[in-house]
Amino acid sequence: MSQLLVINSSGRHNRSITRRLTQQFAECWLMAHPDGKVTERDLALQPPSAVNEAWIASAFTSAQDRTPQMQEALTESETLLAEIEAADAIVLGAPMYNFGLPSQLKAYFDQIIRVSRSFAYVPEADFPYQPLLADKPVTVIISVGNGDLLPGGPMSQMNFLEPHLLTMLEFIGLHNVEFVRVGYEEFQDGRVKNALESAEIAIARKAAA
Ligand SMILES: Cc1cc2nc3c(=O)[nH]c(=O)nc-3n(C[C@H](O)[C@H](O)[C@H](O)COP(=O)(O)O)c2cc1C
């Protein structure tokens, strides 16, 4: 059975553009995969824990040397990674907050990017990191208040959201990444309406692929 993992990170539950579009993606995906299963991870309702002393000590101890308490410190990380591994496709809603990721989404990546689990450290290699997760399609739905921040726009150099997300996803092995972008949410004029229409068309196509 095919599985879609829907990850939402908007702090808004009403009026959220990314939530509306991840939901549309899931509906279109289910039409194309009638026997499929959709799993949702809501990072605003259940914010991932910030990594702490116990997490770091455990993550940097080899698996066979971990005490039961150390293993316990990585339970949340394991749960989140198992969801990714079980999925055949992922759709991620990522609003821009202060030119980058919402903190709950950053906390999520801090939980899932783990040495010897989602990436390997290979000091002798020219590029000393090797991704460990199996690749799968990831559709990232971005919404920004000011569309001038999107790629090609006059403020694009202030967009740290997309390069950061892409770097982290590729770092753990998710290279098949496509972005769907909605700009100008703050302006509430024709530009956001047009952007939403284009996004909905792109999502229907990608979800059915
Ligand atoms: C805390 C916060 C910070 C934001 N920072 C930015 C920003 O730096 N640049 C921008 O263009 N829009 C910014 N916005 C606007 C959001 O990106 C925009 O409202 C987007 O649609 C939010 O996604 P959502 O509709 O799924 O909630 C911010 C919104 C919030 C709530």
Per-residue pLDDT tens listing for the chain (209 residues): 899 999 999 999 999 999 999 999 999 999 999 999 999 999 999 999 999 999 999 999 999 999 999 999 999 999 999 999 999 999 999 999 999 999 999 999 999 999 999 999 999 999 999 999 999 999 999 999 999 999 999 999 999 999 999 999 999 999 999 999 999 988 878 999 999 999 999 999 999 98
Q: What is the Cα–Cα distance from 152 to 99, expressed in whole angstroms?
A: 15
d(CA 93, CA 42): 10
Task: Please provide residue 142's backbone torsions phi and psi, each rounded to the nearest 5 degrees.
Answer: -105, 140
What size, in residues, is the chain?
A: 209
> Would you say 126 and 41 are in contact if contact means Cβ atoms under 8 Å apart?
no
Among residues 31, 136, 41, which one has the least CA distance to residue 87?
A: 136
Q: What is the structure's pLDDT at 207?
A: 93
The boundaries of the domain holding residue 39 are: 3-208
- The reported pLDDT for the residue numbered 110 is 98
- Angle (nearest 5°) at CA 185 between 182 and 189: 105
CATH number of the CATH domain containing 88: 3.40.50.360
Query: Which pLDDT does position 114 carry in this prediction?
Result: 98
Res 145: pLDDT: 96
State residue 189's pLDDT score: 87
Q: Which residues contact 81 (CB under 8 A, 6 or more apart)?
A: 112, 114, 117, 118, 133
Residue having the nearest C-alpha atom to atom 30 of ligand 1: 97
> How many domains does the chain contain in total?
1
Atom of ligand 1 nearest to the CA of 20: 26
Q: Is the CB of 18 under 6 A from ligand 1?
A: yes
CB hemisphere CA count around 200 (13 angstroms): 9
Give the residue, by CA position, lying nearest to ligand 1 atom 31: 97
Between the CA of 52 and the centroid of ligand 1 the distance, in Å, is 28
pLDDT for the residue numbered 77: 98
10 Å CB burial of residue 64 (0-12, 13-18, 19+) is: exposed
Ligand 1: which of 43, 91, 96 to mutate, most ligand atoms within 8 Å of CB?
Answer: 96
